[in-house]
Every structure is written in C-alpha cells, then in structure tokens.
Structure 1
C-alpha cells in the first residue's frame, strides 16, 4: 500500500526495430541528464495513460504499450517516489526539441544503459533486455460489478452490470486501447460481454463467446480451458478476454506454473485486468504439441482497477 504522500509517476522503454532493437533515451536540460521518458501522473490519470502521455510529450512518438517492465522506488524532494515502466513500441511520430527534452537518441540497449545517468534507469533497461521486446500481449479482464447474485431474480447468466459496473466498463474502454487491442472475447455471461462491449464497438469487431472460459465450462476440464486460452493467445493481434473470478486466478497460476514464472498471489477484483505477455509460438505450432512448445508466459502484471486512483 502506497502512502498518501507518495509521488506516482510512469514511463516506458520506447523501442523500435525488428531483430536489432533500439530504445529511446532523452536529454533533460533542466537536470542535464540522460533518462528514459517518464513523468508524474496528472490528476485523474491512470498509470498506463501517464506512460503513453509522457512518451508522447518527451519524445514526439505515439506508442502502444506492451508488458510491464519494472517498478522502481526512490526518494525525490524528501518524498517517496514510485515509477512504473512499460515496454512501448513506437508506431509513429518524430522528435522535436522541447522544454523538457532537447535531444533524443535511438540506441541499442547496452549503449542506452551506458548513457543514462540514473542507476534506476539502468536497472529498468536490464529488466527490459531479459526477454524479447516483441511479445504477444493479452489483456485478461474480470467482469465489472453486477450487483449481488441473491438480489437478481432471473437467470444468473443474464445478470447485467450495476451502475458501478458501467463506470468500471467505461474506464476499461479508455484504458484498453493504450495496449493496442485488435480482438475481444468474452465468457458467455451478459456481465462479461457488457464489460468489454464498448471496446469491441470502438474496434468494430464482434465478441466471440468463450464457454471454456466461464466458471462452469472451465472447471470440468481445466486443461481444455487452458488450451482454448492459448489458442486465443496465438491468434493475430492483441486480444482482450473477459472472464470470471472463478476462472482467472487458476488460469493465470497454471500459465505461470507451466512457464516457471513465480507469482506471489493472483488477485482478481471485479473490473481488474491482468496484463500478460507471452513468447511467440513456433511456426506451425498447435496446442496438440508438447507443452514445452507452447507460448511461454514471461510477464504477468496486475492492474486492480481501470479507474484512476484518488489523489490525496
């Protein structure tokens, strides 16, 4: 739990290239240092939104967020400061010197690490370099609030979002595009579909129903649910998957166990999001292959809410 006087900030390892990856570092004349792009959250802003905004303001590049790379903590101006860094692929733009940054250099990771001034930035670059920059990102969402089951007189499959749930769904509609989604899937529950329908509408895509990722479809055959999820992972473009609290913790833990990724716990609040990043499957890969050939989970980051945290 962060104290109320903590300075929250966000940034990114902005990267480009295929094969040989280059990352962006910027010179800040105010401090006369070389840094990864980052900055403090504005009022009413989420951490991912701040990362995208700061990258654009400091580098001139629009970006798509990928995995969560690292969180660093240090003291600034006598207060604790926490900075979350994501990988961010540059998609378009150009650098123009500005009041915050007067120079940008695209460098291989090792050269960027040698140039940056702060040890914390070198640590972030080291974490970024541990796995490939170009990973398969999946946005696994638990449906938003839908009131209490005992207060709904009809079929529970048809229980809709509550007013609080609709606020969460609208927040997700603003947050999910930062990660460049292309597809939207949902367990066949009205509340699961409603949670991500706004995102699907914005993308102008249909929401396929995923019975294997509902609670009663998953638990009779967990392996089949896992295989179906990995089929979704292996498709084209970044998928959003909306499921239930009785599925997500077990599914994420199974994926982590298969990949040798250690997770302390797997929370799953309503309206929350797991940002999962996988290695690419081999060409011609199939879920009938040995699990050793399946896409490997290399990063799992939990966002407890798409709503911005209240400011102290």
Structure 2
C-alpha cells in the first residue's frame, strides 16, 4: 500500500423478499447520493475486516462475507487513487431484524431495491459496475455460498532452536503468535464457525485465539497432521468430505506439505475441474489462508471462487 492510495472495502448486501432478490443501497447524508455500503481501512485492519465492519456500521446489519465481486478504482483530489474491494454478503432475516440502524449524520436512510433498479438509481458508474458484476454472479447461481478456509499455521520456532524431541510439539515463534491474533478478524468476517486443526502445537496455538473469540472448541484431526502425511497414513479425503457435506463455514488448519492434498480433495469432493489454480490456492506462507467458496445449495457443482489472504504480521 502507498501513501497516495486510499484503500476501502464494502459489500453488495442482498436478501430474498417474497421470492425476489433485493440489494441494499445507502443514502449518504453529507453527499446526498445513493451508493453501496463501504468505508476506508482502519490501521492494522484487513480488507475483509473492513468490509464486514463498514457494512455493520453503515446499515446496522451484521453479515458474513461471501464471494468477492469486484474492485473499483477512482481518482481523489491531490492526485490520489482510491481502491475499493467488494464482497457479496447475504443479510439473513435474523440479521435484518436485529439491525441497530437509525438515521445519522453519515447515513440518512437504507433502501432495498432490485439489482435492475439499483443500476438506474446508483449515483456513480463505479458502483453500477460492481452491481453488474454481482448480477453476473447471480446469473451463474453462485451467490449463496459457504466458505471452507485452508489455513497454514503461524510461524513456528525453527527446528534448530527447538529443544524438544517431537516436532509436533514445536511452538509458535513470536511472529506466529502475532499472526494467530491477527487472523481472528478476517476469519470472523467470512463467518467461520467450526475449527478443525492438526493436533500439532503450532496449529492448535494458531487457531486458539479464534476459538476464544467464537467461544468454541478446536476439533483436533490427526488426519490432516504432518506426521500422518509423512507416514503415508493421512486421512485428508475423509476430513474434507465431512466438511463439504456439513455445508457450514469452517477453517482447516494444517501444514505446508498437507495443503496441496487438501486442495486436491476439495476439487474431487465438489466435482471441480482440476487445474493449476490448485497449486496456487495451496501455496501459502505461514499464517496465510485461502478461502474456498462452495455453493450452499449444491456443493457438487464445483468450487465457486477462491481468494488468498495474508496475516500481514
């Protein structure tokens, strides 16, 4: 990121009302315009965190992010550039009922409209372009999704600096502990609710802060451990199959050598056409993760989309 570039994030918030899809537009008080909910990245924040936070702050609705639907670019005064990332985000009935929105000095009102009407009502061409991309996802039947997150554990103490004899007991380094804390926000933004982890200490410690934030436990799974992989007795296929059948947002925390097998099994379990993208999504540095979006209605229709994120620590 550069000083002359302003980064922001937001979403195309959608719901189905009486069988018809509607998206949420915001009436901004100061500018007297109609736009999509979005806002600037706060210091230390990731783009997914920003998107979820800004949607909630502007609309009062808490959402989990779905597929990434596009990026807008435009110029600001003093020759600066603004780059805004957008995700599709379903507003559940419960979330809408729980909305805390009241008109305020930033947002004067909210309006649910059809995508077609949004194209006519939005104030800016860059927002129109994002809604067009959203409509393309809609036409593909790729809107209602759930994420399976492939996470590589945080940075661990090197083998040379580790006094123990069992590699699975090797702990996180200070950088890894920072990564573990910084992963919480973005993983929550994607709605992760279940945590599955290799029993290795460097994996369980990586997801412990997330478990604390969720108030849930870490499900230990030897089938995705590096020990099992090295011994030729890993059980990645079963673990991945269980997660796909469950159709619930989950994170799988594992090791660099095991991640390509997880990606390959995700492709097989969803009927996806294999390709070079599998190598890309599974090639992660420590503390990084890939979100694999799958159709909630028909997981066997293939991987809908993937996106890689860095912990930044």
After TM superposition, the score normalised by the length of structure 2 is: 0.83
In structure 2, the CA distance between the partners of 1:75 and 1:94, relative to structure 1 (3 Å rule), is same
CA distance in structure 1 between the aligned counterparts of 2:186 and 2:150, rounded to whole angstroms: 13
Cross-structure match for 1:83: 84
Task: Map 1:227-242 onto structure 2 (within 5 A).
Answer: 227-235=238-246, 237-242=248-253
Single out whichever of 241-250 and 163-172 deviates more from structure 2: 241-250
Match of 2:280 among 249, 262, 265: 265
In structure 2, the CA distance between the partners of 1:123 and 1:226, relative to structure 1 (3 Å rule), is farther
Q: Is the 8 A contact 1:58 1:98 kept in 2?
A: no
Single out whichever of 178-187 and 116-125 deviates more from structure 2: 116-125
In structure 2, the CA distance between the partners of 1:198 and 1:228, relative to structure 1 (3 Å rule), is same
In structure 2, the CA distance between the partners of 1:260 and 1:114, relative to structure 1 (3 Å rule), is farther
Task: Map 1:44-63 onto structure 2 (within 5 A).
Answer: 44-63=44-63
CA distance in structure 2 between the aligned counterparts of 1:45 and 1:200, rounded to whole angstroms: 20
Q: Is the 8 A contact 2:147 2:249 kept in 1?
A: yes
3-state SS of paired residue (1:45): coil
Q: Give RMSD over aligned pairs.
A: 2.7
In structure 2, the CA distance between the partners of 1:112 and 1:189, relative to structure 1 (3 Å rule), is same
Q: Is the 8 A contact 1:184 1:206 kept in 2?
A: yes
In structure 2, the CA distance between the partners of 1:261 and 1:23, relative to structure 1 (3 Å rule), is farther
Cross-structure match for 2:15: 16
Cross-structure match for 1:139: 149
CA distance in structure 2 between the aligned counterparts of 1:296 and 1:215, rounded to whole angstroms: 27
Task: Map 1:1-312 onto structure 2 (within 5 A).
Answer: 2-17=1-16, 20-77=20-77, 78-90=79-91, 91=95, 92-129=98-135, 130=137, 131-153=141-163, 154-218=165-229, 220=232, 225-235=236-246, 237-249=248-260, 251-252=262-263, 255=266, 258-260=271-273, 263=277, 265-266=280-281, 267-280=283-296, 282=298, 294=300, 296-305=302-311
CA distance in structure 2 between the aligned counterparts of 1:25 and 1:256, rounded to whole angstroms: 36
- Report the CA distance between 1:216 and its aligned residue: 4.9
Corresponding pairs, count: 295
CA distance in structure 1 between the aligned counterparts of 2:46 and 2:238, rounded to whole angstroms: 32
CA distance in structure 1 between the aligned counterparts of 2:76 and 2:241, rounded to whole angstroms: 42
CA distance in structure 2 between the aligned counterparts of 1:185 and 1:179, rounded to whole angstroms: 16
- Report the CA distance between 1:260 and its aligned residue: 4.4
- Report the CA distance between 1:249 and its aligned residue: 4.4
- Report the CA distance between 1:250 and its aligned residue: 5.2
After TM superposition, the score normalised by the length of structure 1 is: 0.83
Q: Is the 8 A contact 2:142 2:304 kept in 1?
A: no
Q: Which structure shows the higher helix fraction?
A: 2
In structure 2, the CA distance between the partners of 1:57 and 1:232, relative to structure 1 (3 Å rule), is same
